[in-house]
Structure 1
């Protein structure tokens, strides 16, 4: 069967996985979907888990056993099958299994082992000596290997890559009131938010009084806000949002002086003036005419 086989008495029946239908031969499977799949070659990628031989097929794979072995119920492992022993007439002393090559009995080993120099025993392959793909540490195991990480890291789903463990995901790491948890490689820190600082007894985060700092953070007026501060200017000035400096407003130029005749800008203010022949009134904005009396003698 190409996909699934179900034992029946007598015989067996074949079936297909989702997206396929049984072909006319009763064994093969044909795709029935109108769109395309990107199939993975499990045998080449090494994720099949077969003890002996892996055979890739469309959308899946099958584990096969050498002559003299039969597949176990897990469909991956192999066990001895005396009824199919190819070396029954030529019994070598094989540690794992025997197969015929050019009608001669030859010992072979399961996945993760290599035949020793004596041609009989199986020697574990130390995959950690080669290109194992582990990002951090490689630990050799009988017939295989595994990737491990330092205590402060965790193994990703690919079972090869180690990523830093984010301790901040654990609730209650930081006990300082008002602090935030900041993850660092292999550890974490409990820091106060911007605009706050650790209290003298190191039990909480306190708002920094920026307006009381020396040198002054604002050029003219400073107003405290929660976790920050706000700069403003005296009357006659405007704040520069880029430099946070106070710049003089030219009231004469922007028409905010209310002078009836002449306006002269000063630093932070302005002065109204009158033309020749006029005097400034008490409101310091309007002008009145000067009267000249000619005395006749």
Structure 2
């Protein structure tokens, strides 16, 4: 088939490579326009854009494929299907009806669970033991289209969202290619998503990473891992933001009140609503990441030292706190 590939971040690149290595013809790549990167905010092409350039594939940069200029370029390509992996822009008519077999999305969840922009992050934060990937035909609703194929992936106890997303980005492309194959030979049988089991995974903001030390240790552990590497987990100490790496709940540690800090020969601990957690890496205000033990030595922690207990936006953690 003639395929237009739509994707933007690095996690989409393995899927592009997989389709290029298949029997399908990638006639163009659709990706979002260059974005400012780094402290100097230098406009930089997306990872998918750079991969397409390296492969000699024509690139269309647009975040509005329904608008006349982009739509006419896509129509001239006469695609049989458009494969989508983390494109990051809304698909509307008339572009939605353009490909013969539609826009086929590789989504990193077992639909109808975790519809939305951040399925991997929300799966970890909710404490799911198993997740996976689904291919489906995009329709007007948010990730509501009929499912073509699925694959499963175990969520490991200490997975961050970055760890899990990397694995899905490497294993998912085979599912995408097999779904395109099935569409091409007529064997695909897309199935409507069931009405039960629907959950939503909206894009995370910085506030999702703000730790409330009054929550259970298991929930804080999942929150931090789900927000690693982005948008990042954090707390404050004396009003100044401190970035947090993943933590480990410790059942036999000396009891601490929420937010209380303690440095011992066994590590640096923080009190939560249940058992303490052991810190691994932190980034103090204005400094690079460092081992928590190194930070604690420099900070000369005493019994009165603690992370701030501040109001955290309500509504982010209601489901997660019920699944300890």
> What TM-score do you get using the length of structure 2 for normalisation?
0.19
Higher relative contact order, structure no. (Cα contacts within 8 Å, ≥ 6 residues apart): 2
Find the structure with the greater CA-based Rg: 1
Larger helix percent: 2
